Chain A
Amino acid sequence: MSAVVSPIRDPLIEGGKTYGQITEDICSPTERVPSLAWTVAFIIAVLGLGLYVFTVVWTIFYGIGSWNLNRTIGWGWDITNFVWWIGIGHAGTLISAILLLFRQKWRTGVNRAAEAMTIFAVVCAGQFPLIHMGRLWLGFFIFPYPNTRGPLWVNFNSPLLWDVFAISTYFTVSLLFWYTGLVPDFATLRDRSKGIRRKLYNTVSFGWTGAAKHWQRFESLSLVLAGLSTPLVLSVHTIVSFDFATSVIPGWHTTIFPPYFVAGAIFSGFAMVLTLMLITRKVLKLEQYITLAHIESMNKVILVTGTIVGVAYLTELFIAWYSGYLYEQYAFYNRVLGPYWWSYVGMMACNVLSPQIFWVKKFRRSITITFVMSIFVNIGMWFERFVIIATTLARDYIPSSWSYYTPTWVEIGIFIGTLGLFFTLYLIFTRVAPVVAVAEVKSILKTAGDQYVGPNAKHQHETETAKTASH
């Protein structure tokens, strides 16, 4: 391999792995009986899923009245959760698509799991627009289809409809991208197994052989899909922010929303990736593939996006004051010092202040601190959406309509339930597919394995000789 690697770069694969060892390390967890930790986690996740089903059935049976929404608070935890989940999804696409275009090698260690996270988070997010409509069985009305009412079409000028298209496209494209990447790895699992398991993995690997022409097409496909996913992921959260920004509600009607939402989405998504990766690498013993170098890179992204979000918060406050517009000024006064002041404080503390500790290298490379921080950011970003939605709606133009909103047990149950749904899907994924992209990790071994680069490199000289010989 002739790529030039800076000697000061940290190796991304530790333990002097060979190709065979990489296959063994990453594939073998799917071939063993599940560990006790996995089983316990799975039972808890399935209980959460049960709670989800129960509370959603309750909502459909008794109607949206079982939530505490009122006039003027028409959106509460439902849309907060929707935006939170869809934001979490963005990190997976950022890692697999944008970092592919930028040729960032550390992407290979985490992209598979991060993209799985994207898909499962979008699944969770997609639940909320459907159930918050109240009549789930009429959910298909959101799609333009020839109907007997004219046909009367949906409103293509509405950001809520743009959302329908953005999210369904995002889900489909992410799924295709992820699955295409999985196909060669499913073939690896197929070739390691026998009997029924082999048949099963042959079906899902679509009969992959690893022929040179197929790999060439595969790389071409990955590159173009990455090129398509990059503007797509930016468009999705932009359109989600349009749900708010194109309205005429003070505090929502701002042009800063699209970039601010996208930065927030990447921020929260990386936090969730870290939460999942820190547990996954420990439980599946993948510390040599998801190294401290990976964690440090992700913490840098957290620091940058957290600071961007912080700048956006302050810009909003400044512009509200500078606009000279009374209602806008009041909206922000109310956000910071109104009845929901505690959620604003929570947002600021978790999203803007706490990530600043990542200026220090020692903290960026500390697993405990990273884990605690990832939870903080998840909480902070949930608060951000709650601040935007609930505090704004609780104080509208007519003081006689002012009210306060607290969720019912049903709304809380649905949120905890989607966590159950998410972790159920993720835990199943860790059992049936390699959580690290096997083929991609192998392709960076010669340029990022610790026997080739970094302080313990042994083969540096040999590779140099081989290079000279091949020229």
Chain B
Amino acid sequence: MAKANKEVLYGLYDDEEVLLEAVHKAQEEHLEIMDVFTPFPVHGLDHALHLSESRLHIAGFIFGAIGTLTAFLFMTWVFTRDWPIIFGGKPYFSAPAFIPITFELTVLFSAIGMVVSFYTVCGMSPGTVNPTLDDRITDNKFCIAFDTTNADATISDQLRAFFSSTGASEVNVKTI
């Protein structure tokens, strides 16, 4: 399904502290921010935007637990059911010797699971072309974007006034 094009009004800031102030002000004025783009993670931005905490670490825990169980149960099955062999007179179920591999697979499952989840929820994959507003956003500009597809002139003016009052260095419109 082709996504409908959106008209985006965005302002570029030169400094992350100015950006944070602007985000706070936008929240006070109840302006609906579409998204904020920055060249590096800005401390406190997620709180300012009232973003809920990422749940990736929960995914990491679940994947890790799957790894733990897979490794430990598999080795137990192999050495007690499928093909029991005595190694150095030790019992078939020699749990302490299973710990290193169990640990490694816990880490492996957790890491792979989390990374795959991260790219999936962010909608990223090799070759994905996500529309970008400005090439300088990954360099030195901090961007606040508003969706103005269905906005009338009053709202656009209000947003432009907001940008000029909060110190945006540039304001542009782009259809993405």
Contacts and interface: CB of A to CB of B under 8 A. Distances in A.
Contact of B138 (A3, A168, A176, A184): A184
Interface string A180-224: 100110011011100000000011101111111111111111011
A221 B112 contact: no
Given A153-B78, A157-B90, A221 B56 contact: yes
A208 B132 CA distance: 9
A156 interface: yes
A217 B56 contact: yes
B136 A221 contact: no
B122 A214 contact: yes
Interface in B141-166: none
A191 B138 contact: yes
A165 B105 contact: yes
**Most chain B CB neighbours (cut-off 10 Å) among A20, A156, A177:** A156
A153 B125 CA distance: 36
A466 interface: yes
A217 B118 contact: yes
A212 B49 contact: yes
A202 B38 contact: no
A169 B104 contact: yes
A228 B17 contact: no
A213 B51 contact: yes
A173 interface: yes
Contact of B60 (A183, A190, A224, A466): A224
Given A153-B83, A172-B112, A166 B100 contact: yes
Contact of B35 (A156, A211, A446): A211
Among A161, A209, A214, A219, chain B packs the most CB atoms within 10 A around the CB of A209
Given A231-B107, A443-B40, A191 B139 contact: yes
A57 interface: no
B46 interface: yes
A206 B83 CA distance: 45
A228 B104 CA distance: 10
A188 B74 CA distance: 44
Contacts of B39: 19, 23, 184, 188, 210, 439, 442
A176 to B, nearest CB: 5
A221 B118 contact: yes
B84 to A, nearest CB: 11
A152 interface: yes
B45 A172 contact: no
A204 B46 CA distance: 26
Given A172-B111, A207-B130, A215-B41, A180 B118 contact: yes
B41 A218 contact: yes
A18 interface: yes
Contacts of B88: 157
B40 A1 contact: no
Contact of B115 (A191, A204, A221): A221
16 contacts: A3-B43, A23-B39, A150-B83, A169-B108, A180-B115, A191-B137, A206-B124, A207-B127, A212-B36, A213-B51, A215-B38, A215-B42, A216-B51, A224-B56, A225-B115, A235-B100
Interface of B: 16-17, 20-21, 35-43, 45-46, 49, 51, 53-54, 56-57, 60, 64, 74-75, 78-79, 82-83, 85, 87-88, 90, 94, 97-98, 100-101, 103-105, 107-108, 110-112, 114-115, 118-119, 121-130, 132, 135-140
Given A177-B111, A466-B17, 8 more contacts: A1-B43, A161-B101, A172-B111, A183-B124, A192-B135, A208-B130, A210-B37, A215-B42
